[in-house]
Amino acid sequence: MPAPKEFLDYVDHNADAFIQRLSDAVSIKSVSGDPAYREEVIKMSNWISQQLQAVGVETQLADLGRHTMDGQDLALPPAVLGRIGNDPKKKTVLVYGHFDVQPALVSDGWNTDPFKLTVLPNGQLVGRGSSDDKGPVLGWLNILQYHHQNQKDLPVNLRCCFEGMEESGSEGLDDLVKKESQSGGWFDGVDCVCISDNYWLNTRTPTITYGLRGLAYYKVTIEGPAKDLHSGVFGRTVHEPMTDLIKIMGTLVDVKGHILIPGVDEMVPPPFADEKELYEKLDYSIKDVEDSAGASIALSDDKVEVLMGRMRQPSLSLHGIEGAFYGSGAKTVIPAKVSGKFSIRLVPPQTPEKVFPLAKAHVESEFAKLGTKNKLHFEELHGGLPWVTDINHWNYEAARTATRAIYNQEPDMTREGGSIPVTLTFAEALGVSVLLLPMGRGDDGAHSTNEKLDRSNFIQGTKLLGTYLYEVGAAAAK
């Protein structure tokens, strides 16, 4: 059942209003990883709930309790649950997305205010969260608006789960999903899940995604002196925490990306026979990775090697050092306490539980080798499980048919290098197929400066998600 032409035309005719709504969403600074913005994330929960109600969706703000961040006790932003339709003849689709964003400051290198959506002459909609993940969440709202305003029934029963902590480990969400998946819960009766929260591989080929890497995020803290010290007075006189930390951070990964923590890379099985062909088939080149990175810095000239490094191998990245001097000028300080942050992207069969003891043992043994009198503390900040699924399912067939209808192209079938911690929870709690159907392009710069979503991806992406629902609706009739 193709989507009605009237729906597709409506999306085109209302494009400017949809972009205005995206601009409203971007202006709410819903940064989940910084306690200073917590009220803004909560404001975003309310905003999404009101927007859903305005297009006929029954909603509930689901309390997720409290947590501690940077030593502060904080309320978690409520998740927004939504439901519309209860026709037993129709399939029930659960859509998930997140309305929190990564931090963004003009001083990071943005050309414009990150929380003011800027429409560039080339059609790029620039702003934090435009692609990750406010644009795709609003894609679902755009579809609902058409059906509500024109008094058209949706082709499926729809359930929504939108959260405000995805960028910070989805705290509290797993338990909510498990509870609501039980009989009588908001997700009772769900037949399949669709998540639009990742990206095409390149800038030209629509993509369907059947896997995600998991994540284990660590903090290594080293402290010694009771306060910051003058390096002229104390240099070569005391053990310096930063010197110890840099040594340890330097033992985690080599410059070619090999993980040096014993046992981590080794946990992953070699590719199965013919697996490389899956990557060979993808519309991707070294130029694509270098264009989206903005420099000629690919680890290999071999496309398959690069793709496998992103999709089916773990990676370890060093993110930053809390407590270190980082400003301009030449402050001659010895920081008293520094915390190195690094994370490992995980692939099956790795899990945060299996990797934690390896990472801890490695850091502790490297620290012991230093013979320092400083103190070490190692902790995991958050984790998420990897996920890979079967693409031979009507849910994927619906997405493929919808993609052909909107883009007139065969989609790339990918595994995403990023993580969406709740995905496996949906799959296991509901026992149904989960599909990732991205809206944005590979060069959107999610998590980076000048994040953007192309206008055409927002508009065609809205049509794609809507058409996918019609194709799922058609699957119910088969």
| Tokens standing for residue 255 | 């410059």
Minimum CB–partner distance for residue 105 and Zn ion (Å): 17
198 binding partner (options ligand L7UNP4BN, Zn ion, none; Cβ < 5 to 8 Å by kind): ligand L7UNP4BN
| Tokens standing for residue 383 | 């984790």
Under 8 Å between Cβ of 401 and 472: no
Region near ligand L7UNP4BN per CB under 6 A, out of 83-91, 166-174, 241-249, 261-269: 166-174
Under 8 Å between Cβ of 301 and 192: no
100 is catalytic: yes
Work out the end-to-end distance of the chain between its first and last CA atoms, rounded to an integer number of angstroms. 11
DSSP class of residue 212 equals E
E strand spans, 323-401: 333-334, 337-346, 375-384, 387-388
Q: If binding is defined by CB under 5 A, does position 132 make contact with Zn ion?
A: yes
CA distances from 230 to 221, 222, 332, 372, 391 (A): 21, 18, 6, 19, 60
166 is catalytic: yes
Torsion angle (degrees, nearest 10) of CA 162, 165, 171, 173: 0
438 binding partner (options ligand L7UNP4BN, Zn ion, none; Cβ < 5 to 8 Å by kind): none
Q: If binding is defined by CB under 5 A, does position 133 make contact with Zn ion?
A: yes
Under 8 Å between Cβ of 387 and 423: yes
Region near Zn ion per CB under 5 A, out of 124-132, 202-210, 215-223, 309-317: 124-132
Numbered residues of the known binding site: 98, 132, 167, 197, 230, 332, 345, 419, 447
Out of 404, 418, 427, 476, the only residue in the binding site for ligand L7UNP4BN (CB under 6 A) is 418
Region near Zn ion per CB under 5 A, out of 53-61, 71-79, 87-95, 196-204: 196-204
Region near Zn ion per CB under 5 A, out of 183-191, 194-202, 314-322, 392-400: 194-202
What is the CA 478 to chain-centroid distance, rounded? Answer: 34
Out of 197, 443, 451, 454, the only residue in the binding site for Zn ion (CB under 5 A) is 197
Chain residue at closest Cβ approach to ligand L7UNP4BN: 418
CA distances from 5 to 189, 219, 303, 471 (A): 30, 52, 39, 14
Q: If binding is defined by CB under 6 A, does position 420 make contact with ligand L7UNP4BN?
A: yes
448 or 467: whose CB is closer to Zn ion?
A: 448
Out of 59, 198, 221, 395, the only residue in the binding site for ligand L7UNP4BN (CB under 6 A) is 198
Closest CA to 219 of 112, 376, 63, 84: 376
Residues serving a catalytic function are: 100, 166
Binding site for ligand L7UNP4BN (CB under 6 A): 132-133, 166-167, 169, 197-198, 215, 416, 418-420, 446
Binding site for Zn ion (CB under 5 A): 132-133, 197
